Amino acid sequence: MKHIKILAVLVVLMFSVFTVQAQKTKVGVVNIGEILVLMPEYDSLQVAYKAKYESIQRDLQMMVAEYQQKAKELEMTRAQNTNIINSALEEGLVDLQKRIERIQQGAPAELDAFEQEQINPLLDRIRTAIKEVAKENGYSHIINNSQEQVIYFEESSDILPLVKNKMGLKDKPVPTLGQ
Q: Which whole number is the average pLDDT over 143-166?
A: 76
Burial class for 148, CB neighbours closer than 10 Å (0-12, 13-18, 19+): exposed
d(CA 56, CA 144): 33
- The CB density around residue 134, as the number of other CB atoms within 10 Å, is 20
Neighbouring C-alpha atoms within 13 Å toward the C-beta of 69? 6
The pLDDT > 70 percentage for the chain reads 80
Condensed to tens digits (0 to 9), the pLDDT of residues 17-46 reads 555 555 578 888 899 999 999 999 999 999
- SS3 assignment, position 27: strand
Beta bridge partners of 29: 143, 158
Taking all residues of the chain, what is their mean pLDDT, rounded to a whole number?
85
Beta bridge partners of 158: 29
Q: Which whole number is the average pLDDT over 99-120?
A: 96
Band of residue 59 on the pLDDT scale cut at 50, 70, 90? very high
Q: Is 139 within 8 Å of 26 (Cβ atoms)?
A: yes
Per domain, the residue ranges of the chain are: 27-167
* CATH of the domain spanning 27-167: 3.30.910
pLDDT of 85 higher than 70: yes
Q: Tell me the pTM.
A: 0.68
Q: What is the dihedral of CA 59, 60, 63, 69, to 10 degrees?
A: -120
Burial class for 119, CB neighbours closer than 10 Å (0-12, 13-18, 19+): middle
Closest CA to 29 of 132, 146, 176, 167: 146
The pLDDT > 90 percentage for the chain reads 56
Average the pLDDT over each of 53-57, 89-93, 119-123, 148-152 and give the range with the smallest value.
148-152
